[in-house]
Structure 1
């Protein structure tokens, strides 16, 4: 049995042209987008890890190509496959025929591509889930790729979190600056105040607060490469008297009495069961009437839901998402007064489109920097995430909260000033 015949047996609607190394094909011959299966290893990936993991393995390993789109931005292919492609489960007799026809040897799983992290249950050698050692390993897997690679994908702002677009025609850089300033205004930062930025990345919020508001800002990150880049940027911009970035777990910050805490893109990494200790720790770093801005990716519901094998093994190992309601409840339960929340879902879709554009424009240099397999991971992940935000499968929320004093004062104006 040819691979094309197998596909025609199971596909109820095949919107793309699929061609295989055995010379067979399936799907419309005039399709603008095509999948090319290049070798038997690619077939083994598809057969032994069905769903998004098998497809990802074949694509990342270079055993399958997508025609009609750029690997830096395969968004249009993903839209087409999600909207129209339907593969039904074979009957027992069909399954036997398929195995015989395609060859039982193809059911032997090949080794995963080197970009793939071990499955969650096999990471015990790195420590218990969300222990400091294992969190450091997970963060390094995602963020210690290459600072040069991130410069090409993220742009000059070096900001790997959702931008906020003041208008639809704003540039990505304008939107990232606007995001930092919105966070600063929500926190009502003033000259001379102290800010703690947990999960600070390359120091964008720390540098913005110091430069634009005269704030003494401390940022911490588990990524050594991020910390090194941020320190160089602080020195280059002459902000050393106000801004500092440390290579440090946020749980090891000993200082307290901060006027404000910003957490921009950290909560996704800490684990839902750790929310009480996380928000409790941030509360204890604040002075009375101090303020917290929590910015993180969320679900559109508050139920438990796995991130999926591709995201867990290739992108965010041990990452966990939940709804804004659960985040708000956790903050309230440790004593925060929640003042405001806001959803930036559509803004993240626009941000990801901008990053994919940058990856596509700098594709050859990105591949030279990190290898084609890793570059393919990023194109697939960012395009797929863009689609997830557009379809309301994931969201991005700001939660603004205050640590009230003993008299219940929260330090905010009667109406928002931002």
Structure 2
């Protein structure tokens, strides 16, 4: 799994830039347009939050666990709009501090190992984008990817009552994914081999599931699938809207960009890692169907 250092690079280093671009509780995961790309990014993210809350039957008084909570947009929605209580978990110190500053109950803790004795049980659990970081390349090479997912669903089983629901949103590899041996940062720019190499640099310690089927079969026999939908096209639009916001001028934000320049000039690895600011490898991977994106709703049985 991606460790705290890995996730601190991916998320903490862009914390201030992100909040200046997207907002204090902005959502750094695919929005829900459902084909209506005239919607604003904010409305599409709110639509997603409503979909999650409705799918999980979250209501006044519900106790919700927000795994891999990011900057807390879902926690904010369920507490303010549904009257629920929420505990958010992240491995990014920057994200946790930002959430706490904004009045959200967020802790730095590995959500894979939560037990009932930590916070009790929950009426509903969501994990938006977290699964993408649960399995490392090394774990995949060792043949342990499905074991990682099975163990995670056992954790969820212990945290939910019978009939309790779990929402997962995750990127997956798709039909044009290349083999690990072909991934090469020196490959032709724009090729699958090059784009996947950038993704590995951007998200160290992380390896995606091979399609939603891998996730679904490892949820059994503890959970049944309630709904499944692809958000690939929605994510392509979301990334396009993010890029506009990241590029929009803000003096403080551009000063932060400049502060990264010395490291950019002297550290080749760092240059690859922050390539997301000039090229979007995940968007290109969605467009070329190297990757897909799924919303999955499970119920404990």
Which TM class, normalised by the smaller chain length?
Answer: 0.7 to 0.9
Question: Which among 116, 139, 152 is matched to residue 20 of structure 2?
Answer: 152
TM-fit CA distance, 1:360: 2.0
* Alignment correspondent of 1:211: 80
* Alignment correspondent of 1:163: 31
Report the CA distance shift for 1:331/1:298 in structure 2 as closer, same or farther (over 3 A).
same
Report the CA distance shift for 1:246/1:156 in structure 2 as closer, same or farther (over 3 A).
closer
Question: Which among 146, 171, 175 is matched to residue 297 of structure 1?
Answer: 171
1:13-51 CA distance string (max 9 Å, x none): xxxxxxxxxxxxxxxxxxxxxxxxxxxxxxxxxxxxxxx
* Alignment correspondent of 1:330: 218
* Alignment correspondent of 1:282: 156
With 190-199 and 357-366 compared, the bigger mean Cα shift is at 357-366
Tell me if the contact between 1:146 and 1:369 (Cα under 8 Å) persists in the aligned partners: no
* Alignment correspondent of 2:286: 389
* Alignment correspondent of 2:205: 318
TM-fit CA distance, 1:380: 3.5
Tell me if the contact between 1:152 and 1:362 (Cα under 8 Å) persists in the aligned partners: no
Q: What TM-score comes out, normalization by structure 1 length?
A: 0.58
Q: Distance in 2 between matches of 1:364 and 1:282?
A: 44
TM-fit CA distance, 1:295: 0.5
**1:343-382 equivalences in 2 (<5 Å):** 343-362=230-249, 365-370=252-257, 371-372=260-261, 373=264, 377-382=275-280
Tell me if the contact between 1:255 and 1:285 (Cα under 8 Å) persists in the aligned partners: no
TM-fit CA distance, 1:304: 8.5
1:304-362 CA distance string (max 9 Å, x none): 8547332222x1002111211101111124x1111111100000000100111112223
Tell me if the contact between 2:79 and 2:85 (Cα under 8 Å) persists in the aligned partners: yes
The structure with the largest alpha-carbon Rg is 1
* Alignment correspondent of 2:126: 262
Q: Distance in 2 between matches of 1:250 and 1:148?
A: 24
Q: Does 1:340 align with 2:208?
A: no
Q: Secondary structure at the match of 1:268?
A: helix
Q: Secondary structure at the match of 1:289?
A: coil
Report the CA distance shift for 1:347/1:205 in structure 2 as closer, same or farther (over 3 A).
same
Tell me if the contact between 1:157 and 1:173 (Cα under 8 Å) persists in the aligned partners: no
Report the CA distance shift for 1:135/1:302 in structure 2 as closer, same or farther (over 3 A).
farther
* Alignment correspondent of 1:33: none
Matched residue pairs, number? 261
Q: Distance in 1 between matches of 2:77 and 2:85?
A: 11
Question: Which among 223, 234, 250 is matched to residue 111 of structure 2?
Answer: 250
RMSD: 2.3
* Alignment correspondent of 1:224: 93
Q: What TM-score comes out, normalization by structure 2 length?
A: 0.80
* Alignment correspondent of 2:268: none
Q: Distance in 1 between matches of 2:156 and 2:88?
A: 13
Q: Distance in 1 between matches of 2:107 and 2:296?
A: 25
1:350-403 CA distance string (max 9 Å, x none): 010011111222376544214244696222452x32222123221110111111
Q: Secondary structure at the match of 2:220?
A: helix
Tell me if the contact between 2:88 and 2:105 (Cα under 8 Å) persists in the aligned partners: yes
Q: Distance in 2 between matches of 1:304 and 1:288?
A: 40
Q: Distance in 2 between matches of 1:365 and 1:350?
A: 26
Q: Distance in 1 between matches of 2:62 and 2:245?
A: 36
Q: Distance in 1 between matches of 2:176 and 2:283?
A: 21
